[in-house]
Amino acid sequence: MGVSGAGKTTLMDVLAGRKTGGYIEGNITISGYPKKQETFARIAGYCEQNDIHSPHVTVYESLLYSAWLRLPPDVNSDTRKMFIEEVMELVELKPLRNALVGLPGVNGLSTEQRKRLTIAVELVANPSIIFMDEPTSGLDARAAAIVMRTVRNTVDTGRTVVCTIHQPSIDIFEAFDEVTTGSISPFLADYRE
């Protein structure tokens, strides 16, 4: 958590292995062992701040497409579909399963529903850890609370969620198990663009 420009997203991108520009130096370890990005990428998900979805498909089709692309090939069709149903239940999208995603601000899903779909698209890949870049940005208090309930439900499945947040309400702040605040620039001393 921190002000704009504090380096929240940059730090999260470096930890997730998604930083493609600049110069990164140093070591990242997981439980004392050097992080291997190839292995880490298979167990990690990442929800970007801006939701990117095909507007011409339904919620269910979005999840089915993600499951077919991202689950191992030895997972059979029935298991994939069962997993999609569980994820839709977890993120409270079952009533919207046949709704078209649509275009943001024009038709289809609301901004809050699109945020939950973004989380669901990552969850069908069955990650152990999921990174979320400001999942409540652009939402009013009610919508932000709904998205944070989805984040909490995700944590309650045993997954680790690493999340950046900007100016949360007290209710959202209290939803987090651990919070690091302030400028994180000292952690990025070895990162230069």
- Give the pLDDT score at 88: 96
State both tokens at 59: 């919620």
In a domain, 1, yes or no: no
**Is the separation of the CB atoms in 115 and 133 below 8 Å?**
no
Distance CA 124, CA 117 (A): 11
In a domain, 193, yes or no: no
pLDDT in tens, 86-139: 999 999 999 999 999 999 888 999 999 999 999 999 999 999 999 999 998 888
**Number of domains composing the chain:** 1
pLDDT in tens, 63-90: 999 999 999 899 999 999 999 999 999 9
Question: Percent of the chain at pLDDT above 90?
Answer: 50
Report how far Cα 190 is from the mean position of its chain's Cα atoms. 26
**Is the separation of the CB atoms in 129 and 45 below 8 Å?**
yes
- Which structural domain, as residue segments, surrounds residue 157? 8-188
Instruction: Output the CA angle 11-168-119, nearest 5 degrees.
Output: 65
